[in-house]
Chain A
């Protein structure tokens, strides 16, 4: 729930989510469906890792030359007749949007799905000048009625089941709607049709911006983005500055990766490439088109070898669907606009001040499922560790943990000290162990012991036993198998020849 934002830490917010059986069941159901869909679609397509690598290379190249491609895009979009604005900050992007709305004397804005407008809290800001923003993506519409924020990058209402949705829509309809998907979608379709026709401004996000033609490309399944970008007289498109790709040839790769990774679809239902406002010969489209390109912390990643690849993200949500932590706590527990593994890294990275980061980078077991799922191979599991390190190195780490880790380094820096500490541990566990296990619920074991028993230290460690084992084995040791010896020597020599490459 958006109310979760009032809880101070990810741990507190996670606790609320963990106690919400409806939420957990809904999130588990949909993430599993999406994850299986992606698995099937990528296997069916074949050579998935090669496609991922190709996607990664396109993104790496574009971001490395972002200044060039941004200029090219802006020049071409302007030549197409669009107004292009650059906004350094969220506040600036809001200001530009509000100025356009005011100039157009707009009363209503219809919006297609856009995470960057969530980042700007644009609906709220439009409200302050008396402009009503209406979300037209079904999931976003539901979330807006509930007064919440999206809990998933592509499935905003993933945390709600159809009964909860039926309640929300019934309240809006003023009559009882059956919790049947076609009834509910039918109601929304009818309701939104009027809104499209009335709206003064259509507002969209942008999946990809094509530098060579100045086009923006939208991927959607409901047709609402087509309505938003054809019916109102004015269109405002907001995009993060990293949405660029060089050409339509590159779009082919992205159109292969994005829908399969996001929902397991081979193709998105509607893919629109929009190059400027309506021309005389066009049947429809806006008379005026604005494109607002937003930095808001993105350029901080440029030139940072540990985080630049964050800008490669194509916002497919596959890392959320693969993440076992996300599955249990949902998106709101992350406390920011972007949730899941990408949100856990992106949210802190977009801010400059490390002291402001809360502990979301700790909400990961570093299992790497996000990296494996990512269509452009962003090493999110490594980035989470780099974030933790930066927080420690900037002096914002936890004081107690810091002292403990210093002790860890001291003890583990010497096998003699380690043996000493173990001997003390073995004595100490005598006080708390029963039948070879520990069920103690204090100190660091408090939460651990709520779910598990802990094994005791062995009476004799391996290193203590080693002398005995070695003596026993020395007696009957056979000769090393000559074939194996040959293999091992070949591997050793190959390693020396290569000058060091990983195996496996």
Chain B
């Protein structure tokens, strides 16, 4: 059974600790991940900006990387969601379209894989902190990952999960949106960070490093000490602590 890691750009170059936590956590269950090094970016920045040829160039590396994989897992609902756009992206090219559909059907976001595929909800973690959860838009709305992270968090011992007001609202990242419409995006992330502070949580957890980078960037800018982490990190840290 070949289970491959689709690391995604941000976890590769800025937050390697997220990928590492995933790999080490899954190793506990005897899953030995494969890491094809030809993978680059899913192509989402170009796709969403309307530059579909550039998106196809980038996406082709993902099709190549995971050709022989049985399962492909990533620490991002957004990048996995992008793979769900591949059939549309390659609709004019029957050969690539077929590969795109096959990749879509075997791709899973990290918590989807743990809960849906492995059937795990209790990773044996202890995390004695007050935590709030931001459900990222692409993962929750477009992939439908809503219950999985909650199921995993409910089993973490000692953790108090507090509600995030207006949790389902976008953090304002939106890729190039944050650069092109900087002030609108800024208003959105400021509101999101306000809600995180309102929750009085010590830790903000999520499933997408892009959104978390955005929110953490604003919290840090304001000098707020809330710790921001990916759920994979929280679970791994909690599982090794106990």
Contact = CB atoms under 8 A, between A and B. Distances in A.
Interface of A: 10-11, 14-15, 18, 324-325, 328-329, 359, 362-369, 371-372, 385, 387-393, 397, 401-402, 405-406, 408-415, 418, 422, 437, 444-448, 450-458, 460-463, 465-466, 469-470, 473-474, 477-481, 483-485, 487-489, 491-492, 495, 500-504
Interface string B177-218: 111111111111111000000000000000000000110111
24 contacts: A18-B183, A365-B172, A366-B177, A368-B142, A369-B141, A388-B50, A392-B52, A393-B50, A393-B52, A397-B51, A405-B46, A408-B41, A409-B53, A410-B57, A451-B221, A455-B213, A462-B11, A462-B13, A469-B20, A474-B32, A477-B30, A503-B105, A504-B112, A504-B144
A478 B170 CA distance: 40
Contacts of A369: 137, 141, 168-170
A446 to B, nearest CB: 7
Contacts of A371: 141
Given A462-B7, A478-B30, A363 B181 contact: yes
A385 B81 CA distance: 14
Contacts of A453: 217, 220-221
A412 B57 contact: yes
Nearest to A480: B30
Given A405-B51, A447-B183, A413 B30 contact: no
A397 to B, nearest CB: 7
B4 to A, nearest CB: 12
B38 interface: yes
Interface string B130-161: 00000001100111110000000000000000
A465 B20 contact: yes
Top-3 shortest CB links A-B: A447-B182, A365-B174, A409-B54
Interface of B: 1, 3, 7, 11-16, 19-20, 23-24, 27-32, 35, 37-41, 43, 45-58, 60-61, 70-71, 84, 101-102, 104-106, 108-109, 112, 116-120, 137-138, 141-145, 168-170, 172-175, 177-191, 213-214, 216-218, 220-221
B116 A329 contact: no
Chain A CB count within 10 A is highest, among B32, B43, B84, B142, for B142
Contacts of B45: 405, 408
Nearest to A455: B14
Contacts of B54: 405-406, 408-409, 412
A14 B186 CA distance: 12
B48 A388 contact: yes
Nearest to A391: B50
Contacts of A324: 169-170, 172, 188, 191
A480 B182 contact: no
Contact of A367 (B28, B174, B213): B174
Nearest to B138: A368
Contacts of A492: 1, 70-71, 106
A497 B12 CA distance: 34
Prevailing SS type, chain B contact patch: helix
A94 B184 CA distance: 37
A36 to B, nearest CB: 11
Nearest to A11: B181
A413 B58 contact: yes
A18 B188 CA distance: 11
B184 A405 contact: no
Contacts of A401: 49, 51
Contact of B181 (A14, A478, A483, A501): A14
A325 B169 CA distance: 10
B116 A473 contact: no
A11 B179 CA distance: 12
Contacts of A484: 29-31, 117-120
Contacts of A461: 12-13, 16
Nearest to B101: A500
A329 B41 CA distance: 32
B58 A409 contact: yes
Contacts of A478: 27-30
Contacts of B143: 504
B67 to A, nearest CB: 15
A463 B29 contact: no
Nearest to A439: B221
Given A413-B40, A502-B104, A368 B51 contact: no
A10 B58 CA distance: 30
Contacts of A448: 178-179, 182, 185
B141 A372 contact: yes
